[in-house]
């Protein structure tokens, strides 16, 4: 029986697993219930080795096949987001202010289903190492797993991951060799001046006006400081002052935001330009500026042989596979795994759903067997040449 059809027989059970995870979302580094459930199921499937507490709240499981072969790592992320759900579904989050708004509940379920299938059939050569990762959402969970030594300890030779993608037709795969997703850096800019009465701004040093000018000036980085052929986004996402009334000019305004880019090395250039712009705008308005810039995740870059292997495996479980995926400016810490091993990251269409990180988002349960079958096909060598 084809992999997809066999796993599809478990649709109702897989949906129940996913709904349970969705009802009980856990933020980064807090995935204790999720990790415990994952480990319990993996042991029940008969995995050869299951380890908990990897990189604090991660889980690693090992399955050995019929004989010698490649050691492949498969990754699924487990954490939720600090968002209040607004889906209205029966399986909605029971924890206010926490929600699986990125589909990590679905990713976890798909890899669990793949491990169940592979444990039952053992129809593959080599070894599969399942990496159930904590803290993908800004916590550095992938880097923590790398630093915990899982790739060396288990001899992982290549690593694969997947993310659902709203707007892409349900069940359709998309990948490309090279850069799939952007780097993600973060910044905080603090402006300090002299507060005063809003009716007498000449007696103050207006941090609000300086902040407004700075928001606009920062856009010149992408439009004037970087080659127009290089994708760059500089977004100010928060602007907060220490005044909350209508007639007071604040002493301090704080801006927060994110920087996204595809080309390695651009982060340092953008950082330097932000320093120059902030200093110039602050001097113009008679205030001071302090920039704190944090490098986040690097661009997610697929190695060409593994990207092709991922596409070939996808073709065994779906009749819609694109090798020309449009890169996203979103960031993904799977890049930290690709920094130490060859591998590939793939998109799987979630259909016509709300966007990721939206309170109305929900994972499409219909694609659970498809994603699980892709992992299984990779293990069984569907993507390897010959």
Q: What is the pLDDT of residues 169-215, one digit of tens each?
A: 999 999 999 999 999 999 999 999 999 999 999 999 999 999 999 99
Give the residue among 178, 17, 40, 192 at the shortest CA–CA distance from 100: 17
137 DSSP assignment:
T
Position 386 confidence tier, pLDDT thresholds 50, 70, 90 = low
* Pairwise CA distance, residues 85 & 96, whole Å: 8
Position 94 confidence tier, pLDDT thresholds 50, 70, 90 = very high
Position 265 confidence tier, pLDDT thresholds 50, 70, 90 = confident
* Residue 357 marked in a binding site: yes
Position 385 confidence tier, pLDDT thresholds 50, 70, 90 = low
* Pairwise CA distance, residues 275 & 259, whole Å: 14
Average pLDDT over residues 103-121: 98
Q: Which helix (H) or strand (E) holds 216?
A: helix 207-218
At residue 307, the 3 state secondary structure works out as helix
Burial zone of 314 (CB within 10 Å; 0-12 exposed, 13-18 middle, 19+ buried): buried
Q: Which helix (H) or strand (E) holds 238?
A: strand 232-241
* Residue 163 marked in a binding site: yes
Give the residue among 145, 126, 127 at the shortest CA–CA distance from 135: 145
Are 223 and 233 within 8 A, CB to CB? Answer: no
pTM of structure:
0.94
* Residue 47 marked in a binding site: no
Are 131 and 315 within 8 A, CB to CB? Answer: no
Give the residue among 145, 7, 137, 10 at the shortest CA–CA distance from 74: 145
Position 264 confidence tier, pLDDT thresholds 50, 70, 90 = confident
In the CATH hierarchy, which top-level class contains the domain 5-181+299-380?
alpha beta
| pLDDT score at 1 | 58
Which single residue is written with the structure tokens 């694609």? 367
Residues paired with 222 in a beta bridge: none
Q: Which two tokens stand for residue 144?
A: 């923590």
Distance between start and end Cα atoms, the chain: 22
* Pairwise CA distance, residues 26 & 13, whole Å: 22
Q: Are strands 252-261 and 232-241 parallel, antiparallel or unpaired?
A: antiparallel
* Residue 104 marked in a binding site: yes
Query: What percent of the chain has a predicted confidence (pLDDT) above 70?
Result: 99
Hey, what's the torsion of the CAs at 291, 294, 295, 296, to 10 degrees? -140
Tell me the pLDDT tens digit for each residue of 215-245: 999 999 999 999 999 999 999 999 999 999 9
Q: Which two tokens stand for residue 380?
A: 């069984």
- In 10 A of CB 296, how many CB atoms? 17
| pLDDT score at 332 | 97
* Pairwise CA distance, residues 346 & 314, whole Å: 9
Residues paired with 331 in a beta bridge: 182
Position 303 confidence tier, pLDDT thresholds 50, 70, 90 = very high
Average pLDDT over residues 368-386: 89
Position 2 confidence tier, pLDDT thresholds 50, 70, 90 = low
User: How is the chain split into domains, by residue range?
Assistant: 5-181+299-380, 183-297
* CATH 3.30.70.360 given to domain 183-297: yes
At residue 311, the 3 state secondary structure works out as helix
* Residue 19 marked in a binding site: no
Mean pLDDT of the chain: 96
Question: Residue 203, Cα to own-chain centre: how many angstroms?
Answer: 47
306 vs 150, 232, 327, 341, 343, CA distance in Å?
20, 27, 17, 11, 5
Are 323 and 9 within 8 A, CB to CB? Answer: no
Position 384 confidence tier, pLDDT thresholds 50, 70, 90 = confident
Burial zone of 108 (CB within 10 Å; 0-12 exposed, 13-18 middle, 19+ buried): buried
Question: Residue 336, Cα to own-chain centre: how many angstroms?
Answer: 11
Residue 164 phi/psi, 5° resolution? Answer: -70, 155
């Amino acid at each position: 029986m084809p992999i997809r059809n066999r796993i599809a027989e478990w649709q109702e059970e897989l949906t129940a697993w996913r709904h349970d995870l969705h009802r009980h979302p856990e933020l980064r580094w807090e995935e204790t219930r999720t990790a415990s459930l994952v480990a319990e199921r993996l042991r029940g499937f008969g995995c050869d080795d299951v380890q908990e507490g990897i990189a604090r709240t991660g889980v690693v499981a090992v399955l050995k096949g019929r004989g010698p072969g490649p050691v492949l790592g498969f990754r699924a992320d487990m954490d939720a987001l600090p968002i209040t759900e607004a889906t209205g579904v029966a399986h909605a989050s029971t924890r206010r202010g926490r929600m699986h708004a990125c589909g990590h509940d679905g990713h976890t379920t798909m890899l669990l289903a793949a491990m169940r299938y592979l444990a039952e059939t053992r129809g593959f050569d080599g070894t599969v190492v399942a990496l159930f990762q904590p803290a993908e959402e800004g916590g550095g969970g992938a880097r923590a797993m790398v630093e915990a030594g899982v790739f060396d300890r288990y001899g992982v030779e290549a690593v694969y991951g997947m993310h659902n993608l709203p707007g892409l037709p349900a069940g359709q795969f998309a990948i490309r060799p090279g850069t799939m997703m952007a780097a993600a850096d973060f910044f905080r800019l603090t402006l300090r001046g002299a507060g005063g009465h809003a009716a007498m701004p000449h007696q103050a040093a207006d941090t609000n006006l300086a902040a407004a000018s700075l928001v606009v000036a920062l856009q010149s980085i992408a439009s004037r400081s970087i080659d127009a052929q290089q994708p760059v986004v500089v977004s100010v996402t928060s602007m907060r002052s220490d005044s909350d009334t209508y007639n007071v000019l604040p002493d301090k305004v704080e801006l927060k935001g994110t920087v996204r880019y595809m080309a390695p090395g651009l982060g340092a250039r953008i950082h330097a330009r932000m320093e120059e712009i902030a200093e110039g705008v602050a001097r113009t308005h008679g205030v001071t500026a302090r920039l704190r810039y944090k490098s986040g995740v690097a661009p997610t870059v697929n190695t060409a042989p593994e990207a092709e292997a991922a596409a070939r495996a996808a073709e065994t479980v779906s009749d819609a596979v694109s090798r020309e995926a449009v890169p996203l400016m979103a960031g993904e810490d799977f890049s930290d795994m690709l920094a130490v091993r060859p591998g590939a990251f793939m998109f799987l269409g979630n259909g016509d759903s709300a966007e990721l990180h939206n309170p109305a988002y929900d994972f499409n349960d219909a694609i659970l067997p498809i994603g699980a079958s892709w992992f299984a096909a990779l293990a069984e060598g569907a993507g390897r040449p010959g």
